[in-house]
């Protein structure tokens, strides 16, 4: 018999009916003799309702009071789910983050877990009860309620699984697993049986919004087997298992790449002809960072003449105008260079741990794009990822042709 930590997000517990469905699913695991800890989010819409109330009162409410406020969302769900479990004959007890003893630092609204006390929780499991824990929240050393930030319920689940040494942490979501590409634009995309933490990290940061990045990092660090499953199917599928990469014993079958991610909500900016002297990158990016603009890809090529260089980076599309104005000032101050930019871009990335040991991934990628008349605007690579920036209009074409070229297409 195994110990499972199961996490259900806001949509999965979005109504009384859906809470009852979750209780049925959890009850089935319990009936099979497994121990189950359930982590839940606030009912969908509830957190926004609370934030809206706060905004009507204060433009910038104190983070401590925001945490006090929004943490009630999960508290409602845990009580309702415990009731639903008991209604179905499954003994259950709910705990807030503070009651479990999820100790965090004092960074309200974005706290990080420092320690988890599992004694209370284990005692209830030993009594044959399902334990229902409020996700997303904890308590600091002074007893103030903290929250882990949006999506933090995944992190709660993984942290509990690590602390309890659970056999598996199951994240129920509105998709039935991790796909080789977005099925909405690539009909040949297929569900992955498994994927490594590293690949998942690259895919997650790329907009495959299946899991919170922090929870994947956490799971990787503590080697907690993580499974993504759908909470919307009655016939539960196996989902996708996210596991540690066994670098010393790579599988013979390991595919070169695991998936293709794409993102179309970025814009690119370039300073043409910036002086090629030490510190220029910091001079360009410092003011951007001061404006709280997050930068994704950064590309600087060698200076062809040793005097000036072109420096490019991408930002969220909504930040484009602010970034452009900031850069213009920088260029004025530098007394050199010119700002150009483009908002109609897409980023397409190949991800795969297999890439490490295979040459030729980049060349096949570039050749495939070229064969389809797609011009590459920027390139950036990491150990297990190659990203290119292309014109936005080519997004679907690029994803589909790369999916085929790398042998990812579903066979049925």
- If the CB atoms of residues 83 and 213 are measured against its own copies, the closer one turns out to be 83
CA dist., res. 114 & res. 194, Å (int): 29
Does residue 389 belong to the site contacting its own copies (CB under 8 A)?
Answer: no
Nearest to its own copies of 98, 345 (CB atom)? 98
Q: Does 93 bind its own copies (CB under 8 A)?
A: yes
Of 62 and 291, which CB lies nearer to its own copies in the complex structure?
A: 62
Give least dist CB 126 to its own copies, A. Answer: 16
d(CA 27, CA 366): 50
Q: Which of the stretches 14-22, 167-175, 300-308, 323-331 binds its own copies when contact is defined by CB under 8 A?
A: 14-22
Q: Are 231 and 15 in contact (CB under 8 A)?
A: no
Q: Does 356 bind its own copies (CB under 8 A)?
A: no
Please state, in angstroms and rounded to a whole number, the distance separating the CA atoms of residues 184 and 390: 19
Can you tell me which of 9, 10, 18, 20 binds its own copies, judged by CB under 8 A?
20
What ranges in 179-237 are assigned the alpha helix state H?
197-204, 213-222
CB of 242: closest distance to its own copies in angstroms? Answer: 32
Contact 323, 298 (CB under 8 A): no
Q: Is 69 in the site for its own copies (CB under 8 A)?
A: yes
The DSSP bridge partners found for residue 387 are 349, 380
Contact 13, 43 (CB under 8 A): yes
Binders of its own copies in range 48-67 (CB under 8 A): 50, 53-54, 56-58, 61-62, 64-66
State the number of CA atoms in the 13 A half-sphere of 138 facing the CB.
29
| Nearer to its own copies among residue 85 and residue 257 (C-beta) | 85
**How far separated are the first and last CA of the chain, in Å rounded?**
35
Q: Exposure string (b/e) for 262-280, b if CB count within 10 Å is 16 or more?
A: bbeebbbbbbebbbbeeeb
Is there binding between residue 118 and its own copies (CB under 8 A)?
Answer: no
State in angstroms the smallest separation of the CB of 14 from its own copies.
12
Nearer to its own copies by Cβ, of 71 and 312: the residue is 71
Strand order from edge to edge, sheet including 3-8: 92-95, 130-134, 35-40, 3-8, 168-173, 226-230, 240-243, 194-196
Is 349 a binder of its own copies (CB under 8 A)? no
- Which of 220, 111, 114 lies closest to 158, judged by CA? 220
116 phi, psi to nearest 5 deg: -130, 130
Told to check if 76 binds its own copies by CB under 8 A, we report: yes
From 80, 210, 353, 384, residue interacting with its own copies (rule: CB under 8 A): 80
Choose which of 11, 44, 72, 401 interacts with its own copies (CB under 8 A).
72
Name residues contacting its own copies, limited to 248-267 (CB under 8 A): none
Buried b (16+ CB within 10 A) or exposed e, 309-347: bbbbbbbeeebbeebbebbeebbeebeebebebbeebbb
Least spacing, CB of residue 52 vs its own copies, in Å? 10
**Can you list the alpha helix ranges (DSSP code H) found in 165-306?**
197-204, 213-222, 280-290
Looking at the Cβ atoms of 51 and 244, the one nearer to its own copies is 51
Applying CB under 8 A, which of residues 19, 260, 348, 353 lies at the interface with its own copies?
Answer: 19
Whichever of 54 and 336 has its CB closer to its own copies, that residue is 54
Nearby residues of 68 by Cβ (< 8 Å), 6 or more positions away: 145
Q: What would the two tokens of residue 169 be?
A: 């942490």
- Number of residues forming the site for its own copies (CB under 8 A): 37
Q: Which is nearer to its own copies, 137 or 314 (CB)?
A: 137
Residue 99, interface with its own copies (CB under 8 A)?
yes
Q: Which of residues 127-156 bind its own copies (CB under 8 A)?
A: 143-145
Q: Which is nearer to its own copies, 78 or 189 (CB)?
A: 78
Q: Which residues bind its own copies (CB under 8 A)?
A: 16, 19-20, 50, 53-54, 56-58, 61-62, 64-66, 68-69, 71-72, 75-76, 78-80, 82-84, 86-87, 93-94, 96, 98-99, 120, 143-145
């Amino acid at each position: 018999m195994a110990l499972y930590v199961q996490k259900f997000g806001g949509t999965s517990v979005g109504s009384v009916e859906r809470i009852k469905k979750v209780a049925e699913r959890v009850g089935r695991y319990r009936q099979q003799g497994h121990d189950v800890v359930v982590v839940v989010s606030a009912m969908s819409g509830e957190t926004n309702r609370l934030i809206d109330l706060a905004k009507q009162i204060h433009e910038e409410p104190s983070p401590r009071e925001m945490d006090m406020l929004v943490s009630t969302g999960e508290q409602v769900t845990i009580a309702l789910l415990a009731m639903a479990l008991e209604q179905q004959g499954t003994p259950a007890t709910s705990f807030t983050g503070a009651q479990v003893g999820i100790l965090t630092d004092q960074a309200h609204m974005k706290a990080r877990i420092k320690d988890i006390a599992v004694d209370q929780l284990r005692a209830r499991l030993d009594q044959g009860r399902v334990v229902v824990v409020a996700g997303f929240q904890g308590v600091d050393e002074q007893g103030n309620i903290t929250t882990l930030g949006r999506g933090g319920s995944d992190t709660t689940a993984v942290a509990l699984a690590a602390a309890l040494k659970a056999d598996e942490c199951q994240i129920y979501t509105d998709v039935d697993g991790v796909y080789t590409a977005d099925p909405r634009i690539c009909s040949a995309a297929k569900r992955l049986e498994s994927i490594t933490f590293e690949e998942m990290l690259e895919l997650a940061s790329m907009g495959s919004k299946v899991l919170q990045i922090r929870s994947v990092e956490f799971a990787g660090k503590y080697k907690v087997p993580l499974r993504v499953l759908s909470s919307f199917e009655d016939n539960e599928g196996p989902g996708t298992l996210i596991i540690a990469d066994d670098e010393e014993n790579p599988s013979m079958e390991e595919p070169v790449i695991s998936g293709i991610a794409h993102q179309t909500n970025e814009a690119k900016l370039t300073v043409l002809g910036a002086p090629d002297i030490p510190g220029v990158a910091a001079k360009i990016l410092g003011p951007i960072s001061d404006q709280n603009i997050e930068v994704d890809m950064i590309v600087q090529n060698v200076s062809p003449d040793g005097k000036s260089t072109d420096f490019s980076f991408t930002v969220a599309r909504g930040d484009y105008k602010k970034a452009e104005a900031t850069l213009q000032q920088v260029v004025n101050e530098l007394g050199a260079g010119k700002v150009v930019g483009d908002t109609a871009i897409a980023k397409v990335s190949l991800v795969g741990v297999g890439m490490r040991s295979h040459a030729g991934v980049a060349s096949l990628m570039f050749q495939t794009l070229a064969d389809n008349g797609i011009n590459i605007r920027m390139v950036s690579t990491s150990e297990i990822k190659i990203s290119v920036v292309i014109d936005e209009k080519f997004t679907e074409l690029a994803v589909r042709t790369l999916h085929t070229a790398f042998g990812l297409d579903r066979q049925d």
